[in-house]
Amino acid sequence: MTDTRIPTEPTAPDRAAPGTIARLRVILARRTEGRALALLAVVLVIVLATEPVVFTSYEVTLGRIALIGLVALGLTAVILMGELDLAVASTLAVSGVIMASFESLTAGILAALAAGLLIGVINAFFVIVVGINSFIATLGMLFFLRGAAFVLSDEQPVRLANVDAGIAFGRPLIGPLTPRMLIFVLAFIALHVFLTRVRVGREFYAVGGNREAAYDAGIPVVRRVFTGFMISGFVAALAGVINTLERTAADPTAGSTVLLASFAAAIIGGVLLNGGRGSVFGTLLGASSLGILQVALTLSGVQVDVQNIVIGSVLLLAVVTDPNSLRAAAGSVRAFVQSRSGPQPTG
């Protein structure tokens, strides 16, 4: 395969344009990361001016970006297919609790990751085999798994048996990079390669862009949806494992702040909720800006409530400033103006 570009909207001009500027314009028209880049620039400027400590204590910031980014990466795989996994935050919590309830660290981690895969399989089963809308199916799973995390942990944080491993996990391994960041970087590279160079991953775009056409083209849509949900379940469980190791305890309420931030990261990164468009690069940019924003707010002593307001507003802005949303809004306004000035429809 020689064509390694990320397939985007079919409306993008696809013919080879002469001249560097024209070629640049074609490339820019295909990219979807603009809003994430803008948000990152704004956040960087404001944070540099008011709270430069965010960058001197970059280990905290990078750790936050890694946690948001990891969950958002898994979400990206699912959203690209036009589905949604609302259960990620609860998967994070329940896998953490499962891990902490094992005496042996290795067995705990393996059990947690297996649980993540299993949750992905269950989600995909309800979405693609039974045929429930993924918003509702994974919302049911969100409540179910959150409840399961409470039941398994007796409604309080479970302490990790092997605390030393958790402390060792927070130490830098290579240069300033802690294992958490290394895992995130590896996951990012793996998913980027998977979605752009591997056939199975590239078919995710086809499934999300036009599912009927994907069926007709012989793409095993059902299996791809299973793969996508398993990726997101596995990655969320991985985030749960990392979170538990770093805190040396599993909190059944963990992940509720990650949910909102990771959705915002993926959506502002240009991943279209209807599927078929987006890139892990955009998600990385979105996760970086939101991670920096969260750490900056925390360091300047802003309460969690206000942070929720800020992140919630960013998510709301992210969905309404999506190019498709803006187009829909323009269409609505046009229809409204026409209905005021033009002839009224009869009958």
Report the alpha-carbon distance of residue 77 to residue 88 in Å, rounded. Answer: 12
Asked if 334 is part of the footprint of another protein (rule: CB under 8 A), the reply reads: no
Which positions from 171 through 210 interact with another protein, judged by CB under 8 A? none
One-character DSSP codes across 99-139: HHTSSSHHHHHHHHHHHHHHHHHHHHIIIIII---HHHHHH
Piece in contact with another protein (CB under 8 A), picked from 35-43, 149-157, 161-169, 238-246: 149-157
E-only strand ranges, the chain: 158-159, 249-250
CB atoms under 10 Å from CB of 233, counted, come to 29
Site string for another protein, 65-104 (x = CB under 8 A): -------------------x-x------------------
Report the alpha-carbon distance of residue 235 to residue 232 in Å, rounded. Answer: 5
Chain-centroid distance of CA 120 in Å reads 15
Report the alpha-carbon distance of residue 110 to residue 58 in Å, rounded. Answer: 30
Site string for another protein, 20-49 (x = CB under 8 A): ------------------------------
**78/311 with CB nearer another protein:** 311
Piece in contact with another protein (CB under 8 A), picked from 144-152, 162-170, 186-194, 285-293: 144-152
DSSP assignment, residue 269?
T
Report the alpha-carbon distance of residue 112 to residue 250 in Å, rounded. Answer: 12
**134/279 with CB nearer another protein:** 134
Structure tokens at 303: 């309460």
Structure tokens at 263: 């959705």
Chain-centroid distance of CA 294 in Å reads 16
Q: How far is the CB of 248 from another protein (least distance, A)?
A: 23
CA-based Rg of the chain, rounded to a whole angstrom? 21
Among 7, 140, 166, 170, binds another protein (CB under 8 A): 140
Among 35, 64, 146, 180, binds another protein (CB under 8 A): 146
Find out whether 299 and 51 touch, Cβ atoms under 8 Å.
yes
Among 126, 169, 194, 205, binds another protein (CB under 8 A): 126
Asked if 54 is part of the footprint of another protein (rule: CB under 8 A), the reply reads: no
Among 22, 332, 334, 337, binds another protein (CB under 8 A): 332
Site size for another protein, by CB under 8 A? Answer: 55
Q: How far is the CB of 287 from another protein (least distance, A)?
A: 17
Q: What separation in angstroms does the CA of 57 have from each of 112, 172, 176, 246, 292?
A: 31, 14, 11, 17, 11
Site string for another protein, 263-302 (x = CB under 8 A): xx--x-----x-----------------------------
Asked if 337 is part of the footprint of another protein (rule: CB under 8 A), the reply reads: no
Asked if 320 is part of the footprint of another protein (rule: CB under 8 A), the reply reads: yes
Nearest to 166 by CA among 178, 184, 153, 182: 178
One-character DSSP codes across 212-268: HHHHHTT--HHHHHHHHHHHHHHHHHHHHHHHHHHHTEE-TTTTHHHHHHHHHHHHH
Among 41, 107, 143, 164, binds another protein (CB under 8 A): 143
Judged by the rule CB under 8 A, the positions of this chain that interact with another protein are 84, 86, 126, 130-133, 135-137, 139-151, 155, 252, 260, 263-264, 267, 273, 303, 305-309, 311-313, 315-316, 319-320, 322, 324-326, 328-329, 332-333, 335-336, 339, 345
